[in-house]
Amino acid sequence: MIITCPNCNKQFKIDNSLIPDEGRDLQCGSCNQVWFYKIEEENNKVLKLNEEIISKDIEIKDKNKKEKIEEKNQPSEQINNEINNKKKEKISENQKNKTTSKNTDNKGSKFFSYLIVFIISLVALIILLDTLKTPLINVLPGLEIILFNLFESLQDIKLFIIDLI
C-alpha cells in the first residue's frame, strides 16, 4: 500500500502486514513528522461518479457514430473522386519540392565545380612556373625574388594544412 505523509506529501510504499488493524504511529523518513495511521482511513473515502462527464462521452460517441454512418451512405464515386484529387495534389507538391531541391543542388554543385577547376588551374600554373623558373629568371631578373617568395608562401600554407590535419 502507498501512504502519504500529511506534512510534506511524500509517498511511501509499505507492506500491509506492517500496520495492524488498530493502526500505529508512523514517522516520515523525509521530514521526521510522526502521525497515527489506520488502514480504515483510506477505505472511508467516498468515490463519486461524475454523471455529466459520462453523458458528454455518450453524446460524443453518438455523434461520431452518426458521422460514420453518413460517410458510409455517401456514393462511392464521390469518395473515389476525393481520393484521386488528394493524390494528384500530393504528386504535384512532390514534383514542386523536387524541382526546387534540384535547383539548389545545382547551384551548390556548380560552385564546387568552379572551385575545383580554379584550384587545379592554380596548381598547374605553379608547376609551370617552377618548371620554367630558370629561363624566366634569365629573361626577367626581378622575377627571382617574387618566385622565391611565392614558393616560400606555398610551403608555409602546406605546413599549415598539415598541422590542421
What pLDDT does residue 82 have? 72
Question: What's the CA dihedral at 118, 121, 125, 128 to 10 degrees?
Answer: 160
Average pLDDT, the chain: 78
pLDDT digits (tens, 9 = 90+) for 14-39: 888 888 888 888 888 888 889 888 87
CB atoms within 10 A of CB 18: 9
* Nearest by Cα to 37 from 60, 18, 61: 18
48 has a pLDDT exceeding 70: no
CA dist 81 and 84 (Å) reads: 5
Q: What are the phi and psi torsion angles at 141 (to 5°)? A: -65, -30
Segments making up each domain of the chain, as ranges: 2-43, 51-113, 132-164
Asked if residue 41 has pLDDT above 60, the reply is no
Q: For 102-155, what is each residue's pLDDT tens digit?
A: 555 677 788 888 999 999 998 899 888 888 888 888 888 888 888 888 889 988
**Separation CA 91–CA 14 (nearest Å):** 61
